[in-house]
Homo-oligomer: A and B are copies of this chain.
Amino acid sequence: MRVSTRGEYGVRAMFDLALHFGDGPIALKTVAERQVVSEHYLEQLMAALRKAGLVKSKRGAQGGYELANSPANVSIGEIIRVLEGPITPLDCLDADVETGTGPYCRAPERCVLRNLWKELQDSMTQVLDNTTLEDLRQDAYRLEVAE
């Protein structure tokens, strides 16, 4: 029931970029130092975020990363999905019955426990999809910890 370091560090990095949104590209080295995570490891996460279109990159000297969209338009849920896959307590919840994706839930309408896990999933996505980087940025200013 945990978020992995991919998700945790990824959100931290995106939050960092949100604090500096509009300042042009930020070098990964800078983000890694501020957030105290391995630069090489962050690199992998940024590659995924870039391919998903959440960040833009610029190579070479004075290069770096920046958000592709304004912080208000990036939810934490998007970030987590890119880095960890679907937000679901059980794979079978997302399996497509029509296409037969996955060997699960051939009779979801008869699965009593499905409702339970579905409720859990909904409550998680409710929080993650309705919180944006802008929300976090404002929290940071309230807490006076913006860097």
- Chain A residues at the B interface, C-beta cutoff of 8 Å: 1-3, 7-8, 11-12, 15, 76, 80, 84, 87-91, 109-110, 112-113, 115-117, 119-120, 123-124, 126-128, 131, 136, 139-140, 143, 145
Min CB–CB distance A101 → chain B (angstroms): 17
Q: CA–CA, A84 to B131, complex, Å?
A: 27
Grouping DSSP codes into helix (H, G, I), strand (E, B) and loop, the A interface class, with mixed when no group exceeds half, is helix
Min CB–CB distance A78 → chain B (angstroms): 14
Q: CA–CA, A11 to B89, complex, Å?
A: 13
Count chain B CB atoms within 10 A of each CB in A2, A15, A80 and give the residue with the most.
A2
Q: CA–CA, A3 to B124, complex, Å?
A: 13
A8 and B90 contacting across the interface, CB-CB below 8 Å: yes
Q: CA–CA, A128 to B122, complex, Å?
A: 12
Q: CA–CA, A11 to B123, complex, Å?
A: 19
Nearest B residue to A140, CB-CB: B112
Count chain B CB atoms within 10 A of each CB in A7, A89, A126, A128 and give the residue with the most.
A89
Q: Please name all residues of chain B whose beta carbon is closer than 8 Å to the beta carbon of A87 when the two chains form the complex.
A: 1
Q: CA–CA, A89 to B35, complex, Å?
A: 19
Tell which of B89, B131, B136 touches A3, judged by Cβ atoms closer than 8 Å: B89
A112 and B90 contacting across the interface, CB-CB below 8 Å: no
Tell which of B7, B80, B109, B127 touches A123, judged by Cβ atoms closer than 8 Å: B127
